[in-house]
């Protein structure tokens, strides 16, 4: 048997207030939205980061917190139901509403957020891509916290491995596995946030759609890399040629990101 690091068992319930448990999972979503809102407020209050066209203001970001929360929850749940376990939920339709049992899709949450951003931007009379850039700059914060929550639960563990940092996860048997949740927290959260932070400081917000494009490509690439270490969902397994659902759903995201980046490059060339 290879050396296995002991999994740091953490109670998924942070604290219970009477009969109501407060779980790390819920705290991750709430913290991600609140910290993201604070960072978005910081961005829109810095005129030097933006170009001449109208940008979101502080009150718009306040509304965005509510719109994004609805988009993330509805889109994330619907995406999981449709892409990852449709047969189960077709037989158990009531379970669709049991969000506290887990089962959220990032790609579905992203689609829900896109709809929320579109509706809010149209109501506010600002460019959809302007508001989308703000959201894209802050999303890695929520991704980082969400992956840490996956690790604490634990769920979405990695494939079997004999690397020195492999762990035996509760519920996954005695086989040592990659802590893929931490890989995703690092790549989708920390690394992607730093890339976007540098891009913003270099003036990416002055070109509508550029931050969104960088995020889409960055997340898609990071997710595909992590999927090579993550155990596929048991109800789906490998689809074909070793591909997973997470990989396939990331490909159109990368394609959209490339289109947005090329679009902003052409705009810059036209203005030069």
CA dihedral 141, 227, 169, 162 (to 10 degrees): -120
Joined together, the tokens standing for residue 265 give 């490059």
* pLDDT for residue 227: 96
pLDDT at 269 over 50: no
The pLDDT of 179-208, averaged and rounded, is: 96
Residue 83 is predicted with a pLDDT of 81
Helix ranges (DSSP H) in the chain: 24-44, 58-83, 86-91, 106-124, 128-152, 180-184, 192-201, 210-227, 245-271
| Tens-place pLDDT, residues 101-150 | 667 788 888 889 999 999 999 999 999 999 999 999 999 999 999 999 88
Cα–Cα distance measured from residue 158 to residue 272, given in angstroms and rounded to the nearest whole number = 48
Lowest mean pLDDT among 132-141, 174-183, 231-240, 249-258: 231-240
Q: Is residue 116 part of a domain?
A: yes
| Total tally of structural domains belonging to the chain | 1
What does pLDDT average to over the chain? 88
Task: List, in order, residues 6 or more apart from 211 with CB less than 8 Å away.
Answer: 132, 133, 134, 136, 137, 196, 199, 200, 204, 205
**How large is the angle between the packed helices 106-124 and 245-271, nearest 10 degrees?**
40
Min mean pLDDT across 14-18, 131-135, 252-256 is at 14-18
Closest residue by Cα to residue 144 from 208, 194, 101: 194
Averaged over 191-220, what is the pLDDT?
96
**Structural domain containing residue 124:** 20-271
Closest CA to 256 of 214, 194, 203: 214
Per the annotation, binding residues are 147
Q: Is residue 94 part of a domain?
A: yes
Residue 213, classed as helix, strand or coil, is helix
In a domain, 157, yes or no: yes
Instruction: Please report, for residues 34, 172, 187, the alpha-carbon distance to residue 84 in angstroms, rounded to integers and kept in the order given.
Output: 28, 19, 23
Q: Which tokens is 57 given?
A: 């203001």
33 vs 69: CA distance, rounded Å: 7
> Over 108-123, what HEC string results?
HHHHHHHHHHHHHHHH
Q: What's the pLDDT tens digit per position in 38-87?
A: 999 999 999 999 977 788 999 999 999 899 889 988 888 888 888 888 88
pLDDT at residue 100, rounded to an integer = 63
Which is nearest to 228 in space by CA: 187, 190, 172, 270? 187
Answer whether residue 12 is part of any domain.
no
* pLDDT score of 9: 75
Residue 77 domain-assigned (yes or no): yes
Under the banding of pLDDT at 50, 70 and 90, the label for residue 247 is very high
Whether 3 is covered by a domain: the verdict is: no
With respect to residue 11, please indicate whether it lies within any of the assigned structural domains: no
- Dist CA 66 CA 34 (whole Å): 10
- Closest by CA to 64, choosing from 143, 146, 133, is 133
pLDDT of residue 268: 57
Please name the residues in contact with 147: beta carbons below 8 A apart, sequence gap of 6 or more: 181, 182, 184, 185, 188, 189
pLDDT at 270: 43
With respect to residue 164, please indicate whether it lies within any of the assigned structural domains. yes
Q: Of 9-13, 170-174, 225-229, which one has max mean pLDDT?
A: 225-229
């Amino acid at each position: 048997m290879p050396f296995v690091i002991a999994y740091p068992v953490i109670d998924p319930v942070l604290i219970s207030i009477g009969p109501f448990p407060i779980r790390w999972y819920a705290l991750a979503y709430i913290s991600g939205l609140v910290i993201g809102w604070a960072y978005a407020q910081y961005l829109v209050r810095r005129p030097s980061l933006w170009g001449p066209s109208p940008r979101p203001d502080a009150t718009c970001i306040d509304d965005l917190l509510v719109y994004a929360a609805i988009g993330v929850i509805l889109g994330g749940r619907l995406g999981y139901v449709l892409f990852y376990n449709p047969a189960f939920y077709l037989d158990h339709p009531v379970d669709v509403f049991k969000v506290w049992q887990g089962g959220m899709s990032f790609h579905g949450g992203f689609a829900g957020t896109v709809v929320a951003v579109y509706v809010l931007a149209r109501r506010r009379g600002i460019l959809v891509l302007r508001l989308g850039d703000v959201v894209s700059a802050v999303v890695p914060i929520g991704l980082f916290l969400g992956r840490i929550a996956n690790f604490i639960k634990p769920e979405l563990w990695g494939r079997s491995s004999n690397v020195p940092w492999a762990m035996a996860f509760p519920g996954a048997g005695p086989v040592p596995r990659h802590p893929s949740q931490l890989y995703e927290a690092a790549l989708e959260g920390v690394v992607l946030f730093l890339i976007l932070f540098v891009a913003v400081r270099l003036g990416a917000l002055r070109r509508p759609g550029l931050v969104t494009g960088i995020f889409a490509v960055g997340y898609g690439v990071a997710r595909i890399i992590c999927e090579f270490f993550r155990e596929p969902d048991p109800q789906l397994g490998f689809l074909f040629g070793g591909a997973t659902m997470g990989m396939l759903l990331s490909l159109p995201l990368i394609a959209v990101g490339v289109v947005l980046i090329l679009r902003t490059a052409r705009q810059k060339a036209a203005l030069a």
